[in-house]
Amino acid sequence: MSASTFPADVPDLRGRSFLKELDHTPAEWAALLDLAARLKAEHHSGQPRQRLRGKAVALLFEKTSTRTRAAFELAAAGQGAASTYLDPTGSHLGHKESVEDTGRVLGRLYDGIEYRGAAQATVELLADVAGVPVWNGLTDEWHPTQSLCDALTMREVCGKPLAETSFAFLGDGRSNVAASLLAMAALVGADARVVAPPALQPPAAVLDAASAVAATTGARLTVTDDVAAGVAGVDAVHTDVWVSLGEPESAWAERVPLLVPYRVDAGVLAATGNPDVRFLHCLPAFHDLGTSLARAVHERYELAEMEVSDEVFRGPASRVLDQAENRRWTIEAVLVATLAGLDA
Ligand code: CP
């Protein structure tokens, strides 16, 4: 379909990058969510269509991943596109070849590029030079494919429109996940609370940018250090790991004492006052001693659980596996929307 024949009532995301939530309008975000739901239903109906046949995407990871990588590969394959995974040591990026040169080369070879790494500036530079859509698979600042997934998951598991949904994020409010949840809430008009100790609350720039959009959508954004007030009445409680990949060892010593009171446990879910509250986590989670990192932290800090108790993680409120599955459908929607169009 040429640009001139694109339906006027459907946002046109063809050729656009997906770098952070607030680059998009509420209408674009809603259309991506609707497309993700449609692709998921199509797949489960057993009659999927392939909208990206003949296309190829590069998946450039400077940090490791399970869900994001798997979702991009499956999304591309499901839509008939080829993909090439370039792992944290498997390309010249940053060592023998600059971001700019890598972006220009991959842009000549591929129809789109996914990038995961530390700096938001890197994914923005790739988008500037590649000449094809670039998708942010996580940077230290934003995790937009995750928040798109979180929005779809809340739409499914909270049983109400997102504009009527309330949720709390407990943990490091300065993190990419907290920032992306605030931005997403602003776009969909939700009631979002970041519940974090005073030293770990979202940067003013993030809150100001999200609040400007919230003023146009009716979203309510709150930052508090009071767990009981922050979770009162919410439909969903989110959390994330306290220290991310690539952060220094010293971060544990700083954050563990600050964040133990913000662990999501049965008491936190009870404090919501909502018997149907849902628990969400982008994963991976430290809820037991099943990983070498969790055991190392346990040895040093005597913590058998970190951001979420094992009871909550495995309990009836938990929807983390629905959420993990939705990485595929939301990433597939981003690929289809930017490479073929929202109504392809
Ligand atoms: N949630 C998330 O981004 O998971 P991965 O790190 O496994 O991709």
- Whether 170 and 268 have beta carbons less than 8 Å apart is answered as yes
Q: Same domain, yes or no, for 74 and 221?
A: no
171 lies in some domain: yes
137 in the same domain as 78: yes
Q: By the 8 A CB rule, do 237 and 268 touch? A: yes
> 205 and 135 share a domain?
no
What's the CA-to-centroid distance between 284 and ligand 1, angstroms?
A: 7
- Per-residue model confidence (pLDDT) at position 1: 46
By CB atoms closer than 10 A (0-12, 13-18, 19+), residue 343 is middle
Query: Is residue 148, in this structure, part of any structural domain at all?
Result: no
Q: Is there a single domain that holds both residue 23 and residue 92?
A: yes
Mutate to test the pocket of ligand 1, among 138, 139, 322 (most ligand atoms within 8 A of CB): 138
Tell which one of 59, 61, 68, 334 to mutate to probe ligand 1, the residue whose CB is within 8 A of the most ligand atoms. Answer: 68
For residues 303 and 180, membership in a common domain is answered with yes
Helices 67-78 & 144-157 angle (0-180, nearest 10): 80
b or e along 138-159 (b: 16 or more beta carbons within 10 Å of the residue's beta carbon)?
bbbbbbbbbbbbbbbbbbebbe
CB 339 within 8 A of CB 52: yes
Q: Which atom of ligand 1 is nearest to the CA of 70?
A: 8
Whether 253 maps to a domain, the answer reads: yes
CATH of the domain at 174: 3.40.50.1370
Residue 154 domain-assigned (yes or no): no
From the alpha carbon of 64, which atom of ligand 1 is closest? 6
Strand order in the sheet with 134-136: 82-86, 56-61, 112-116, 134-136
**CA 8 to ligand 1 centroid distance, Å:** 35
What residues does ligand 1 touch, defined as CB less than 6 Å away? 65-68, 138, 146, 282-283
For residues 180 and 187, the answer to whether their CB atoms sit within 8 Å is no
> From atom 4 of ligand 1, which residue's Cα is the shortest distance away?
67
Cα–Cα dist 241/289, whole Å: 14
User: What confidence score (pLDDT) does residue 5 get?
Assistant: 56
Distance from the alpha carbon of residue 65 to the mean position of ligand 1, in angstroms = 5
Give the total number of structural domains in the chain. 2
198 and 309 fall within a common domain: yes
| C-alpha triplet 296, 299, 305: angle, nearest 5° | 80
Residue type, 3: A
Report which protein residue has its CA nearest ligand 1's atom 1: 282
The three-class DSSP label of residue 328 is helix
pLDDT, tens only, 232-259: 999 999 999 999 877 888 899 999 999 9
Name the pTM for this structure: 0.96
Question: Could you tell me if 200 and 174 lie in one domain?
Answer: yes
Q: Are residues 116 and 216 in the same domain?
A: no
Indicate if the alpha-carbon torsion angle 254, 258, 262, 267 is positive or negative.
positive
Please check whether residue 155 lies inside any domain of the structure. no
DSSP letter at 51 equals S
- What three-state secondary structure class fits 113? strand
Does residue 344 belong to any structural domain of this protein?
Answer: no
Report the candidate in 153, 161, 186 with the shortest Cα–Cα distance to residue 21: 186
Contact 124/140 with Cβ under 8 angstroms? no
120 lies in a domain? yes
Distance of CA 326 to the CA centre of its chain: 11
pLDDT tens readout for residues 12-52: 999 999 999 999 999 999 999 999 999 999 999 998 899 99
Q: How far is the CA of 297 from the centre of ligand 1 (A)?
A: 20
pLDDT the model gives residue 3: 46
DSSP 8-state class, residue 80:
T
Residue-number span of the structural domain to which 110 is assigned: 3-142+327-339
Residue 100 lies in a domain: yes
CA–centroid distance, residue 285 to ligand 1 (Å) = 10
Q: What is the rounded (10 degree) CA torsion for 315, 170, 192, 20?
A: -100
Which residue, among 171, 184, 172, has the nearest Cα to 219 in the 3D structure? Answer: 184
Same domain, 259 and 287: yes
Give the tokens for residue 202: 């979202």
Asked whether residue 310 falls in the same domain as residue 333, the answer is: no
What are 39's two structure tokens? Answer: 């692709």
Ligand 1 center–CA 13 separation, angstroms? 24
pLDDT at 48: 87
* Whether 297 and 165 share a structural domain: yes
**Stretches in the chain below the pLDDT threshold 70:** 1-8
Residue pair 144/180 in contact (Cβ under 8 Å)? The answer is yes
CA of 67 to the centre of ligand 1 (A): 5
Q: Report how far residue 318's alpha carbon sits from residue 237's, in angstroms, rounded to the nearest whole number.
A: 10
Q: How far apart are CA 250 and CA 236, in angstroms?
A: 31
pLDDT of residue 9: 76
124 with 50, same domain: the answer is yes
